Chains A and B, each alone.
Chain A
Amino acid sequence: MVSLFKRRGGRRDDVPVDVQGRRAVIEIQGVTKTYAMGDIEVHALRGVDLTIYEGEFVSIMGPSGSGKSTLMNILGALDQPTSGAYRLDGVDVSRLSESDLAKVRNKKIGFVFQNFNLLKRTTAQRQVELPLIYAGAGGRSRKAKAALESVGLGQRLNHLPSELSGGQQQRVAIARALVNEPAMILADEPTGNLDSRSGAEVLQIFQTLNRERGITVVFVTHDSWIARHTQRVIMLRDGQIVADAPIAEPLIAGHNERPSMEDEMEAVLKTVYYGGKEEEYT
């Protein structure tokens, strides 16, 4: 464990590299997850292989029961696979102790949740300082300020969640996810609780962070409109990856109107919305 985080600058040699020379941040091989529900065994994941490279912007899609949440929990080091290997930023996290998992979550992963999960009665600045406190890091207020400025909330440092709009609250959560410079940001339905306008703002921030700072972002969503703003879609069904493809022309947040209800309805009626052939999601 000691060597796990000291190797910050030094990179491992055996990490896979893609055609553009980007290192793999997430390497998952043959991951399965089985829950025992009483006498019945539930196979939530049935052998998943997945590699996500540095600077990618990926969405993981799938209907309820597809294993999407299970995969997210494993990716987020909140849970461990029953079998298979998971290497995050070159470190095998599939067999770590509870305490080491907490350290991995602290330093390598930034979480963004659908319902923001901000602490009550706590200012934006202190919300963002939270991961730094658990990391025992110095210069907390400076780092927190910088993170909040990068999501455009430099003027709202001392605001409580109750004094911020939904979009602003989610931006505080993004700043909190960013502040420890994690290997990736894992966002679970980040726009799910937001209106279209605030949703577009939040998407824009993710796109900017990804484009300008090369931050790896993984979205977990069932909303194909949101997924179309990312660069690559991974489709899960029944615990397996059924599709994994790049999006040819990702949408730019705020530049496109969401299809009208009629158009979406038409799309539902004419095509199979989830699953099936991969070109339907591009």
Chain B
Amino acid sequence: MFGGFGENVRVALTGLGANKLRSSLTMLGITIGVAAVIVLVSLGQAVETFVRGQFLGLGTNLILVFPAEDSRGVTIRLTLDEVEALDDPLRVPDGLYVMPQLNLTRVAAFNGREAQGRVRGVTDEFPTMRSRAVAAGRFFDRTEVDGLARVAVIGTTVVDRLFPETYPIGQTFRLGDVNFRVIGVMENASSPNPFAGDENDLIFVPITTASTRLSGERDLRGDRPITSVLVQARGEDSISMAAAQIRQTLREERGISFRDEDTFEIFTQDDLLESLGQITGLLTIFLAIIAGISLLVGGIGIMNIMLVTVTERTREIGLRKAVGAQKNDILMQFLIEAMVLSLLGGGIGVGIALSGALLVSSLSAELAVRVQPESILLATAISIGIGVFFGIYPANRAASLNPIDALRYE
């Protein structure tokens, strides 16, 4: 019925080949647009994978509890008593581990060297909950936590600052006024992350030691205040349940009336991911608009060049009609030419995106940019769509030419 699909593609390629510079300039817009779309999608996925990986590196199913201001603007700190309440399996049945954390800053000194030491008091459950391991020595155990032992496990940065020439394990150093013995060195934490900050310059000590020997602070009721509580839920499905139970328990402990707001905040990893997702989502929309504009401009370029082509080939169209081409034959011929143009442009864009992804992946070991087959499919669909959308008007103009006028056209 038609002039044959293959025949049309052949004619289109011959025509495009005859105007190589013009064709490639026209394709450029689509090429850039498609490359942008693919890079964007791939980069977005890579960043998300990266961030997710970082969060998983913290340990799974974690819930973080912070104190918050109450309605009068007073912050009531969490206490070890409240931690004990949260550790009650009858009140928080979906919590697996509950660990108080106390952050302090004390001057650390060893052998004449001094440094600001960021101290974090934790329990022996820290390595398990946070999926962290020691590089050398060991982490403190339950007995040492219960016995207020003056032992410390230090991060790699601390090793560099305080023990540049000494094997740290077994050494005794001063933290404020108290002597601590180094019993272990933490494995290097991959990189600073939004959930926990840089953990390589931390000095881990038992929470009990921190809150008594280092801090000694007490609140009005005589309880020992802490910075935050980390709870690990039993499973992925029970995170929200555990969060609800924690909330209920703390409200009861603090005697908060049903009318009043919580005086603490509960974060799950999902919450943080979500707020992070909002930021990256905004960025994605912004970049998508740029890609969309570039595709639009590319499409208009194709339309423009197709209109030029149709005018240039008016006599050819007249001849084709004279020897029996139907309106549809001419329409298909020019539509296919526009599609070949946009598909070629899109194909080159895919190629550029693939090599760009390889480049980024080889430059950054942590950011594995992989071009998904779906995004190639999407790019192909977009290219065809643009070809059809912007090609239909010129093609229709060609198909509607009157053969007499077209044959006479100079």
The answer to whether A102 touches B4, judged by C-beta atoms less than 8 angstroms apart, is no
The answer to whether B320 touches A130, judged by C-beta atoms less than 8 angstroms apart, is yes
Chain A interface extent, by class: 20 to 34
The answer to whether B321 touches A102, judged by C-beta atoms less than 8 angstroms apart, is yes
How many Å from the CB of B409 to the closest CB on chain A?
A: 11
Instruction: From known contacts A120-B18, A121-B14, A121-B18, infer whether A134 and B404 are also in contact, taking CB-CB under 8 Å.
Output: no
**In the bound complex, CA of A113 to CA of B316 (Å):** 13
Instruction: From known contacts A73-B404, A117-B319, infer whether A135 and B324 are also in contact, taking CB-CB under 8 Å.
Output: yes
Q: A10 an interface residue at 8 Å Cβ cutoff? A: no
Q: B3 an interface residue at 8 Å Cβ cutoff? A: yes
Q: B329 an interface residue at 8 Å Cβ cutoff? A: yes
The answer to whether B404 touches A133, judged by C-beta atoms less than 8 angstroms apart, is no
Contact of A111 among B7, B14, B315, B323 (CB under 8 A): B323
Q: A106 an interface residue at 8 Å Cβ cutoff? A: yes
Number of A-B residue pairs having CB atoms within 8 Å of each other in the complex: 59
The answer to whether A117 touches B326, judged by C-beta atoms less than 8 angstroms apart, is no
**Residues in chain B near residue A134, CB distance under 8 A:** 3, 320, 323-326, 329
How many Å from the CB of B2 to the closest CB on chain A?
A: 8
1/0 per position for A126-143, CB-CB distance to B under 8 A? 000011011110000000
**Residues in chain B near residue A264, CB distance under 8 A:** none
Q: A78 an interface residue at 8 Å Cβ cutoff? A: yes
The answer to whether B1 touches A131, judged by C-beta atoms less than 8 angstroms apart, is no
**In the bound complex, CA of A16 to CA of B18 (Å):** 51
The answer to whether B323 touches A105, judged by C-beta atoms less than 8 angstroms apart, is yes
**Residues in chain B near residue A73, CB distance under 8 A:** 404
1/0 per position for B1-18, CB-CB distance to A under 8 A? 101100100000011001
How many Å from the CB of A170 to the closest CB on chain B?
A: 14
Q: B241 an interface residue at 8 Å Cβ cutoff? A: no
**In the bound complex, CA of A136 to CA of B329 (Å):** 11
Nearest residue, chain A, Cβ from B400: A98
**In the bound complex, CA of A252 to CA of B3 (Å):** 40
The answer to whether A106 touches B324, judged by C-beta atoms less than 8 angstroms apart, is yes
Instruction: From known contacts A111-B322, A113-B407, A117-B407, infer whether A133 and B4 are also in contact, taking CB-CB under 8 Å.
Output: yes
**Residues in chain B near residue A176, CB distance under 8 A:** 323
**Residues in chain B near residue A99, CB distance under 8 A:** 326-327
The answer to whether B327 touches A98, judged by C-beta atoms less than 8 angstroms apart, is yes
**Residues in chain B near residue A131, CB distance under 8 A:** 323-324
**In the bound complex, CA of A79 to CA of B319 (Å):** 14
How many Å from the CB of B9 to the closest CB on chain A?
A: 13
How many Å from the CB of B398 to the closest CB on chain A?
A: 14
The answer to whether A106 touches B404, judged by C-beta atoms less than 8 angstroms apart, is no
How many Å from the CB of A224 to the closest CB on chain B?
A: 24
**Residues in chain A near residue B322, CB distance under 8 A:** 76, 78, 105, 111, 117
Interface centre among A103, A121, A135 (most CB of B within 10 A): A121
Q: A107 an interface residue at 8 Å Cβ cutoff? A: yes
Q: A119 an interface residue at 8 Å Cβ cutoff? A: yes
Nearest residue, chain B, Cβ from A99: B326
How many Å from the CB of A278 to the closest CB on chain B?
A: 30
**In the bound complex, CA of A234 to CA of B66 (Å):** 105
**In the bound complex, CA of A111 to CA of B406 (Å):** 15
How many Å from the CB of A78 to the closest CB on chain B?
A: 5
**Residues in chain A near residue B4, CB distance under 8 A:** 133
Nearest residue, chain B, Cβ from A79: B404
Interface residues in B1-39 (C-beta closer than 8 Å to A):
1, 3-4, 7, 14-15, 18
1/0 per position for A9-35, CB-CB distance to B under 8 A? 000000000000000000000000000
1/0 per position for B386-410, CB-CB distance to A under 8 A? 0000000000000000011001000
**In the bound complex, CA of A117 to CA of B407 (Å):** 8
Interface residues in B276-326 (C-beta closer than 8 Å to A):
315-316, 318-326
How many Å from the CB of A139 to the closest CB on chain B?
A: 14
**In the bound complex, CA of A180 to CA of B322 (Å):** 13
**Residues in chain A near residue B324, CB distance under 8 A:** 102-103, 105-107, 131, 134-135, 180
**Residues in chain A near residue B3, CB distance under 8 A:** 133-134
Nearest residue, chain B, Cβ from A118: B319
The answer to whether A119 touches B323, judged by C-beta atoms less than 8 angstroms apart, is no
Nearest residue, chain A, Cβ from B14: A121
**Residues in chain A near residue B327, CB distance under 8 A:** 98-99, 102
Nearest residue, chain B, Cβ from A111: B322
**In the bound complex, CA of A135 to CA of B252 (Å):** 87
Nearest residue, chain A, Cβ from B408: A69
**Residues in chain B near residue A119, CB distance under 8 A:** 316, 319
Interface centre among A99, A134, A180 (most CB of B within 10 A): A134
**Residues in chain B near residue A111, CB distance under 8 A:** 322-323
8 other contacts beyond A102-B321, A105-B323, A107-B324, with CB at 8 A cut-off? A78-B322, A102-B324, A105-B324, A106-B324, A130-B320, A133-B4, A133-B7, A134-B324
25 contacts across the A-B interface (CB closer than 8 A): A76-B322, A78-B322, A78-B407, A102-B321, A102-B324, A102-B325, A102-B326, A103-B324, A105-B322, A105-B323, A107-B324, A113-B319, A113-B407, A117-B318, A119-B316, A119-B319, A130-B320, A131-B323, A133-B3, A133-B4, A133-B7, A134-B320, A134-B329, A176-B323, A180-B324
